[in-house]
C-alpha cells in the first residue's frame, strides 16, 4: 500500500504545487487505486506517473470547494478513453456533487462510455469496497467537509509450513485449501487450521481529511486513533492560530497538540499555503521528526503491513 500525493497546494496552485489530489495505491492488495479529491491538474499529474486511470474505480470527494473538484469532469471524461470503457466507477461525495456534474456534462454535451454510480455521503456513513471498510466523519469547515477512514480487514496469519511438514503434509494445493478452512483432514485425522497459523495480520488504517479546523471531539479522536497514517490539512504552519480559525482551516502545531496522545505511526500534512517561501519550508521540514511529513507534489509513502 502506498500514498501518492499528486496535488498538495491550498486553494491556489503555485509553480511547484498543484491543487488537491491523493491516490491510495492498493493495486497489490485489491488491484485498484482509490482517488481522494480531484484538483484541476490531476490529468497532467497522472501523466507523470504509472497510475492507470482504468484502475481508478472509486473516487472519494471530501467537499465541494473548487480546489478539490475542478479536475473531476475532465478526469471522468478522459477515463472513458484511457481503458475505462465499460468499467463501472463509483463517486462518493457531499450533496450537490452529482447535480454539478450533470449540469457540466449537459452543457458541454459530454457523454461517458461507462456507468457512474453517485453515492451522496453524510456524517457517520459506512461503506465497504472489497476488503476495505470505509467510515466517514463530518469535520469543521465552512461547507460540509468529511474525513474518510480506510481500514483493511484483518488477515489470517501465515501458514506454519514447518509444522505442517512435521505432520507429513507436504507443500501443494492442499496448503491453500487448509488456509481457507476452519478444519481439515489428513490421513483420517482432523486438524484445526488455527493451530497451524501465525499471528493475525492487522489491517492498515488510513485517515484522510478534507479541509477543516482542528477537531477536538473525543469521538473523532477515538475514530482516528491507531491509524497507520493520518493525512491532514495544514494550510498554516507558523502559529497563525487565529487566522487559521477565521478561515476554517488548520495550523499544524494546533493539530499535533490536540492529537499528541494518539497512537499514530505517520502524519502527512498537505494543503500547504503558497504564502510560505521555499527557504522557510526547507528549514521547517528539517526540524520535524521522521514520522511527520510535509507533502509535496509526487510524494510517495509506503504504508507497510503491521507485524
Residues annotated in a binding site:
63, 65, 67-68, 141, 211, 271
Buried b (16+ CB within 10 A) or exposed e, 9-44: bbbebbeebbbbbbbbbbeebbebbbbbbbbbbbbe
Helices (H) and strands (E) in the chain, counts: 11, 16
| H/E segment holding residue 99 | helix 97-108
Concatenate the DSSP letters of all residues of 7-76 into one string.
Answer: E-BSSS--SS--S-EEEEEEHHHHSEEEEEEE-TTHHHHHHTS---GGGEEEEE-----HHHHTTHHHHH
Q: Do 70 and 19 contact (CB within 8 A), yes or no? A: yes
Enumerate the known binding-site residues for Zn(2+).
63, 65, 67-68, 141, 211, 271
Q: Tell the burial category of 107 from Cβ atoms under 10 Å away from its Cβ (0-12, 13-18, 19+).
A: exposed
Beta partners for residue 189, in sequence order: 186
**What 8-state DSSP symbol labels residue 194?**
G
Angle between helices 97-108 and 72-79 (to 10 degrees): 60
Active site residue 67: yes
Give the Cα separation of 12 and 273 in Å (integer). 8
Which residue of the set 25, 37, 67, 228 is catalytic?
A: 67
HSE-up of residue 121 (Cα within 13 Å, Cβ side)? 28
State how beta strands 205-209 and 21-26 pair.
Answer: unpaired
Active site residues: 67
Amino acid at each position: 500500500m502506498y500514498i501518492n500525493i499528486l496535488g498538495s497546494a491550498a486553494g491556489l496552485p503555485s509553480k511547484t504545487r498543484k491543487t488537491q489530489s491523493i491516490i491510495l495505491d492498493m493495486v497489490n492488495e485489491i488491484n485498484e487505486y482509490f482517488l481522494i479529491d480531484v484538483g484541476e491538474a490531476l490529468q497532467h499529474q497522472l501523466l507523470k506517473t504509472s497510475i492507470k486511470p482504468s484502475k481508478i474505480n472509486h473516487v472519494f470527494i471530501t467537499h465541494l470547494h473548487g480546489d478539490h473538484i475542478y479536475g473531476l469532469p475532465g478526469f471522468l471524461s478522459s477515463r472513458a478513453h484511457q481503458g475505462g470503457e465499460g468499467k463501472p466507477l463509483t463517486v462518493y461525495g457531499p450533496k450537490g456533487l452529482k447535480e454539478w456534474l450533470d449540469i457540466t456534462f449537459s452543457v458541454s454535451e459530454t457523454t461517458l462510455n461507462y456507468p457512474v454510480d453517485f453515492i451522496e455521503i453524510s456524517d457517520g456513513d459506512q461503506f465497504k469496497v472489497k476488503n476495505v471498510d470505509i467510515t466517514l466523519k463530518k469535520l469543521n469547515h465552512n461547507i460540509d467537509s468529511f474525513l474518510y477512514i480506510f481500514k483493511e480487514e484483518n488477515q489470517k496469519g501465515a501458514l506454519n509450513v514447518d509444522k505442517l511438514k512435521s505432520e507429513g503434509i507436504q507443500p501443494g494445493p492442499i496448503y491453500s485449501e487448509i488456509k481457507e478452512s476452519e478444519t481439515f483432514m489428513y490421513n483420517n485425522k482432523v486438524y484445526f487450521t488455527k493451530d497451524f497459523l501465525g499471528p493475525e495480520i492487522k489491517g492498515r488504517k488510513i485517515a484522510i481529511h478534507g479541509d477543516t479546523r482542528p477537531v477536538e471531539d473525543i469521538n473523532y479522536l477515538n475514530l482516528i486513533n491507531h491509524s497507520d497514517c493520518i493525512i491532514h490539512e495544514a494550510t498554516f504552519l507558523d502559529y497563525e492560530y487565529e487566522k487559521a480559525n477565521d478561515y476554517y482551516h488548520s495550523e499544524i502545531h494546533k493539530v499535533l497538540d490536540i492529537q499528541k496522545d494518539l497512537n499514530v505511526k505517520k502524519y502527512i500534512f498537505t494543503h500547504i499555503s503558497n504564502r510560505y517561501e521555499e527557504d522557510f519550508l526547507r528549514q521547517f521540514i528539517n526540524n520535524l521528526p521522521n514520522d511527520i511529513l510535509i507533502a509535496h507534489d509526487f510524494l510517495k509513502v509506503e504504508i507497510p503491513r503491521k507485524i
